[in-house]
Amino acid sequence: MPQEANQAPAKYFTPFNIVAGIIVVVGIIITVLRFTRGLGTVTHLSDNNPWGIWIGFDLLVGVALAAGGYVTSAAVYIFGLKRFHAAVRPAILTGFLGYALVVLALHYDVGRPWRLPYPFLVSRGTTSLLFEVAACVALYLTVLFIEFSPAALEWLGANRARRLVVKLTLVLTIFGVMLSTLHQSSLGALFLIAPSKLHPLWYSSYIPIYFFITSIIAGLSMVIFESSLSHRYLAHKMDAGHLAAKKDVTLGFGKAAAWVLAGYFFIKVIGIAVDNNWHYLATGYGAWYLVELLGFIALPAFTYAIGVREGNTTLIQWTSAWTVLGIVVNRFNVSLVAFNWHLPAEARYFPHWMEIGISVFIVTIGLLVFRFIATRMPILHAHPDYEAH
């Protein structure tokens, strides 16, 4: 059971709650402006730059960082790594909230959000990559909801429904991995239609593979990062099993991340060689590309490996945060920094402060909902009536 003995009464006016409350209020005001006065009031989007930070961060980054759900489920239920079982429910919850918030963010970015169901119900654009991404995201969000539901059903005491869902675990895991493989790579494939707009160092025929591999890296790193935050701020909600599993999860996922990052580094170098883009490395964009390649791929691969070899969980946790930042940098480079790189500075896109405000608002909503669920449902501890299962 969670360690809640002699716990002090809950404090509502904490620094986090006050800051989060301010962000939520500002976010609601911007939301009203967005849906009453249109995109032009709150964004710097244009015909040359139709995709901004709401796509670059809220969608591309959000989907990547939500990959911990399929990565952890596959590790435990497909590859049989049961020692990581304690990480499954937090990872599934993070993934479910991540995809739900991606869908929420799309309502801000799409000019007519009420038409989001049209590709499924009216004009079935089955030849479009966007249709495939939309279909996979919608299906995988449903899968994540079902995978998350046992925790909610235990909380509600719905034993029969819980037993039914638990029997579907392996099927849901396999289906989730298939869907994730499709849409994670397809998000990269969207940029294949823009060879003249995306800088050659970031444009590659392998970009779908890059996006899929980085989703695995993001998933592994996000599980470590989320676990470290949960153990720091929600340890009183954890039982002995979850507390004891921290080291195994950190070392195991850190080792996997080191190998995947090392492989990704060599694939990226091969990509430069295949496209013969070495000369671009001597330019300003080339210098920034090397920062991403060496600073956010090679460096975390090395520090992950050192942390695992030395059993240094603190180093692994800091590396996970750096790697998550690297995923953000990569997605921003592809969708914003290196996109329309040939345009003059005055024609380039820079987000409106309200666009940034909405992104911060959505992230804050995710944190608040995660904390609400994790402090009430059996996410970080086993329900006493189901510990045997």
Q: How far is Cα 229 from Cα 13, in angstroms, rounded to an integer?
A: 20
For residue 184, give every residue at least 6 positions away whose Cβ sits within 8 Å of its Cβ, in sequence order, or none.
63, 64, 67, 211, 212, 215
- What's the maximum distance between 2 C-alpha atoms anywhere in the chain? 65
The whole-number pLDDT of residue 75 equals: 95
Q: Which residues contact 40 (CB under 8 A, 6 or more apart)?
A: none
Q: In this structure, how many other beta carbons lie within 10 angstroms of the beta carbon of residue 122? A: 9
Percent with pLDDT over 70 in the chain: 95
Average pLDDT of the chain is 92
The percentage of the chain sitting over the pLDDT mark of 90, rounded to a whole number, equals 79
pLDDT band at residue 323 under the 50/70/90 scheme: very high
Residue 9 in this model has a pLDDT that exceeds 70 = no
160: Cβ contacts below 8 Å, ≥ 6 apart: none
Check residue 343 and give its pLDDT: 87
| Residue 124 binned pLDDT confidence (cut-offs 50, 70, 90) | low
What crossing angle do the helices spanning 207-233 and 88-109 adopt, rounded to 10°?
A: 120
In one letter, which amino acid is 8?
A: A
Least confident segment among 10-19, 67-76, 137-146, 247-256: 10-19
pLDDT for position 49: 84
258-293 core/surface letters (b: 16 or more CB in 10 A; e: else):
bebbbebbeebeebbeeeebeebeeeebbebbeebb
pTM (global) more than 0.75: yes
User: What mean pLDDT is predicted for residues 343-353?
Assistant: 89
Task: For residues 235 and 112, give the distance between their C-alpha atoms in angstroms, rounded to a whole number.
Answer: 43
| 288 residue type, one letter | W
Amino acid 115: pLDDT: 83
On whether the CB atoms of residues 235 and 3 are closer than 8 A, the answer is yes
What whole-number distance in Å separates Cα of residue 389 and Cα of residue 386? 5
- Which pLDDT tens digit goes with each residue over 32-54? 999 999 999 999 998 888 889 99
Confidence of residue 126 (pLDDT cuts 50, 70, 90): low
pLDDT of residue 5: 44
pLDDT at position 3 is 53
Section 126-153 average pLDDT: 89
- What the block records as the tokens of 58 is 């809220």
Sign of CA dihedral 353, 338, 265, 181: positive
Residue pair 313/247 in contact by the 8 Å Cβ criterion: yes
pLDDT value of residue 10: 59
Q: Which of 92-96, 135-139, 200-204, 251-255 has the lowest mean pLDDT?
A: 135-139
The predicted pLDDT at position 313 comes to 95
pLDDT at 329: 97
Tokens of 170: 């392996």
Q: Please give the pLDDT value at position 2.
A: 59
β-strand partners of 339? 198
| pLDDT number for residue 128 | 76
pLDDT of residue 314: 96
Can you tell me the mean pLDDT for 361-365?
97
Confidence band, pLDDT 50/70/90 cuts, at residue 6 = very low
Residue 5 structure tokens = 């003995």
